[in-house]
Each structure stands twice: as structure tokens, then as C-alpha cells.
Structure 1
Amino acid sequence: MALTNRCDLACAHCYAPKSRDALRFDIVTQWLAELDSLGAFGVGFGGGEPTLYPEFERLCQHVARETGLSVSFTTHGHHIDEGLAEGLSGSVNFVRVSMDGVGETYESIRRRSFPALLARLKHIRSICRFGVNVVINERTLPDLNEAAIVAEDAGACELLLLPQIPVSGVPGITPYILHGLRRWVDDYRGALKLCINEASAEGFPTCNPLIEERGLRAYAHIDAMGVLKHSSYAETGIPLGEGSLLPGLDQLAHDLAENDT
């Protein structure tokens, strides 16, 4: 769930619209109660930047207290101080931190201090287990060795590789860079668990422990305007309004099946 489109960074590869749209707290908790009743495993909060959602801490605490869903979120990390970390501890199961490259590469893409990010990782580590996400392109691939070392040294347990998707005039990953990424994965001998997004998984070694969980049984995305989509990159979806989530899931499944035929 993209809780808000608000973000104080302006990364060129970001797919989120630059708007102030945000989901209402009561609607989010309603949808999460529905998903919990269906036996869903968990919810991942994103954005925009989810820590800019005014009731983010309260929402995570609510989910942990009132449902059986696991809670994760993806963040640039720069707003997680000691106070927020304490408020989220015990309510969040996993944090994913976006770190595109290291040092000057990171700072040229994110326009934030890399040492400042490393300082924030100490607070994030106190919340729960965390991983690092890296968008892979011609600028970040050469940094992967050092990025893995930095992530491991900071206490991360996972490195999520995200080959760049074309958005808003920014091209996707080239075949040459993708081939380089495959070679890097084959040669990696570090301690981090390597993961890759489903859309780019072909040609990479993967493990799927839940082989029957595919399509909408595995994943769905709700953007900050309340539109249900089969992925965060999908251009169209089902507007949910303030109603139940279940009819939207049924309609989206129907539409996807029709498109397949």
C-alpha cells in the first residue's frame, strides 16, 4: 500500500506520482481487516515516503495489535531517528531501505548525505531485521560490491536487486547492464540473501517456497489514490473508493484473466 505520494526526494527512476495524495487511516485499517480475514500474510507500506504519512507510527501499531498481518515498509531512511525507531519497535517485522549505490553515486541520485544514511541505519537496525534495495542501472552496478559490504556491515540481512524499470522518460536497464548483474550474482559469495523483483527474475537463480501463490494470490498494489493494481508499475487499475476491497480484487482478477485470453 502506497500510503502517500509525498516524498522529499526526487529520484529520476521513481514511479510514484509527485502529488500530495494519501490514503485515509480508517479506510486503510478497513482494508487490512479484510485482508487479515482472508488469511493474507502481510502488508508492505510504501509511497512516496511512508514515514511522511502523518499517522504512520499509529498505523503500524494498529496492524500489529489488531491483525495477524506482518508489517514491512520501504523507506529512504532519512526520517528514522531514535524516537520513531522506538515507536515502531515491536510493530514492524521488516524494513527495506533504498540505497542506490554508495558514496558519491548515492548522493548524486538521492541528493542526500551518504554518511547521514549510514547513521540512520543504526536506528533502523534497532527496530527489526532490515534489508537494502538497490535500483540497478549503469551508475549503480559498479557500486554493487561495496554496497553489499556496506549493507552487511550495517547489519542488513538481505540485498534486493531492482533492475531499472522505464518510467517518465527514464530508460529501463540495458541488456548489457542486465548481463553484468547476472555475472555479479553468480560471483557473489557474501552473507546477504540476494533477492530480485519478480518482473526481472528470468535468468536468475530463484527459490519460490509458495509455488501456488501466483498473480493476485501473491501480490497486489494499492496506490495513494486508492486504486487497486496488479503491480506498482501498472498504469490502470480498479478505483476502490471507500468501499470493500474484495469486489475490487474480484474485478481485477476478472480483467487480468480477460487480458490473458
Structure 2
Amino acid sequence: MSIALTNACDLACSYCYAPKHRAVLNLDSLLGWVDDLDRAGALGVGFGGGEPTLYKHLPEVCTYVAEHTGLAITMTTHGLRWNAALVSRLRGAVNFVRVSVDGTGSTYERLRGRSFERLRKALQEIAGDFRWGINTVVNEDTVGDLDAIASLGEEYGATELLLLPQQPTKTAGGVDQTTLRELENWILGYSGPVTLTTSGDADLGVPIAEVLPREVGLRSYAHIDATGTVRTSSYSRSGISIEQDGVMAALQRLARLEAR
């Protein structure tokens, strides 16, 4: 289950698909949902946003999940707020960190509006204490930087490079076909040590490994947004609000909705 803790973010990337209205999850509700998911046999939770490090209860939530459940904890972050103090509070609780890196050098700075050297310093903090990987939104601006992104991952010991073809938003279109073909050719020619992965709904035109082939649909993945609505994915426009009967009941209602 991926969980958007907050819609807040201190960046303003034009291609970001995350909702822009104010929303943040209630701590007590969140911990109750986590307990429900653990009892139901979920494998893990992935915290994101917005930017999850802007959620004021983040260390508290991660510690609770690590100490009171059997769930693995992953996190998707831009990485720029990570420092020694945050690392010390999350060390031993978070199992995997995914850092969003769209381009390198001047490409990164133009798209993200932050210093690439600042990102490097954050990666040093993260890589020293966590297993980690890179998320890259692939579009016409970033596809030419994939070699450099993969090299950056290798330099700091990343275990995966997650390729995410750009999704359409209110302010930006989805990835174009020319860029998709460039991405496909790059994947087919790639021979680096960092494992390539992609999202389940991405059509890259290349063979992918089905790790759990019978775990499909809501048995495989679902998303809770920062308003407490459960969806089939973070891109989905429809969803079901989580009520007093909990997250598993909401998932059942969502499954019935999707079956119509």
C-alpha cells in the first residue's frame, strides 16, 4: 500500500501528478490503517506525498510501523531535506528509500529548481544508512540523461532505477511516442549494474519480470491519498473514502466499484 502522507511539497515540478490542494493525514487514523493492513497480511507500506519529510509525524509513524507491525517501510522522497538528524531518527525503521532524480546537473537544476550538488550531499547521507534507489520521470527533458542517472546510482550504491514515463497532468502532457521509443532503445542497450524497474501500468514495449504473477489488481497494490481516499493507483481519478470501518472495508468497496 502506498500512502501519501501529505500533499505539501517545497518543489514545483511542472510534470508532477500529485494533487495540489491542501491535505494531510490524521496520525491516529493512519496508525489504525497500518494496523489493519498488517493484520490483513500486507507486505509493506510506501510513504510518499507530496514530500513525506514535510509530514511532522514521519519519524513517529516509521518507528511505530517498525516496532508494532511486520510491514516493510519504503519511502519516496526528493531527498533534499535529508540530513544527519533525519537519518538518525529513521535509521533502523525505514527499509528502502526511493529518491526522485529527474536528470542530472543542469537538467536537474532546471526541472527541480534546486542545486544538483545539494542532491549529491543528500545522497551521501541516505546511502550511508539505507538501501536506496532512484525514481526517474522519463520525458523529453530527462531521457537523454539516463546514462548519467544510472551512473549516479552506481556511484552511490543504488540497488534500482525505477523508470516512470511521464503521466499527463493539468499542466503537462504525458510522455510522447518518440521519447518512449528512445526509452525502449535505451533499456534494450543498458548493461549497467543498477537493476531497472518500472511501474505496473507503464507500457515500455520491452519484456518485464512478473515477480508475483498471480498477485494482480488490488491484491498487488493500492494507494491511499492524503485525504484518506483509497485508489487503485496514485494516478486514478476515482476512489473510496476510508470510513470508520477501516481501510480493508474501503478496499472491498473499491474492488466492487472496479468490477462494475
Dislocated runs of 4+, deviation >3 Å: none
Deviation at 1:24, TM superposition (A): 0.8
The corresponding residue for 1:90 is: 92
Deviation at 1:202, TM superposition (A): 5.0
Deviation at 1:174, TM superposition (A): 0.8
The corresponding residue for 1:200 is: 202
The corresponding residue for 2:213 is: 211
With the length of structure 2 as denominator, give the TM-score of the two structures: 0.97
Does residue 1:130 correspond to 2:132, yes or no? yes
- Does the 8 Å CA contact 1:88/1:127 hold for their aligned counterparts? no
* Deviations 1:56-115 (CA, angstroms, capped at 9, x unpaired): 011101100000000000000011100111111100110000000001111111101001
Distance in 1, matches of 2:87 and 2:173, equals 36
* Aligned residue among 107, 110, 131 for 2:109: 107
The corresponding residue for 1:41 is: 43
Q: Which segment drifts farther, 21-30 or 203-212?
A: 203-212
Q: Secondary structure at 1:90's aligned position in 2?
A: coil
Deviation at 1:20, TM superposition (A): 2.9
Stretches of structure 2 lacking an aligned partner (at least 5 in a row)? none
- Count, aligned residues: 258
- Does the 8 Å CA contact 2:243/2:250 hold for their aligned counterparts? no
Deviation at 1:151, TM superposition (A): 1.3
Structure with the larger RCO, 1 or 2 (CA within 8 Å, 6+ apart): 2
The corresponding residue for 1:248 is: 250
Distance in 2, matches of 1:165 and 1:130, equals 23
* Aligned residue among 181, 184, 187 for 2:186: 184
Which amino acid in the other structure matches residue 153 of structure 2? A
- Does the 8 Å CA contact 2:4/2:47 hold for their aligned counterparts? yes
Percent of aligned pairs sharing the same letter: 46
With the length of structure 1 as denominator, give the TM-score of the two structures: 0.97
Distance in 2, matches of 1:202 and 1:180, equals 10
* C-alpha RMSD of matched pairs (Å): 1.0
Stretches of structure 1 lacking an aligned partner (at least 5 in a row)? none
The corresponding residue for 2:153 is: 151
Which amino acid in the other structure matches residue 121 of structure 1? L
